Amino acid sequence: MVDFIANLKNNIDALEDVEITEDTDFNSLPEWDSIAVLSLMAMIASEYGVNIKSSEISEAKTVGELWKIVGAKS
């Protein structure tokens, strides 16, 4: 999870200075936008070899839930 959060922050410029934990509701962050979603999809594909749909991202409420979706696909 620590690596996933670090990758999230490193690959999405808008989140670089935002404190993120497993319980963070990323959909409610003011920095979260369509560019962040696309960046997240690209990061997950390149770092974890998993293709994830934007609908799956929006279904996740927290970073931890998103990590579980990625883990289930890898």
pLDDT tens digits, one per residue of 52-71: 999 999 899 999 999 999 99
- CATH number attached to the domain at 2-73: 1.10.1200.10
Q: What is the pTM of this model?
A: 0.89
The DSSP code sequence of 12-26 is: -GGGTTS---TT--G
The two tokens of residue 29 are 């962050």
pLDDT, mean over the chain: 93
For the chain, the structural domain boundaries read 2-73
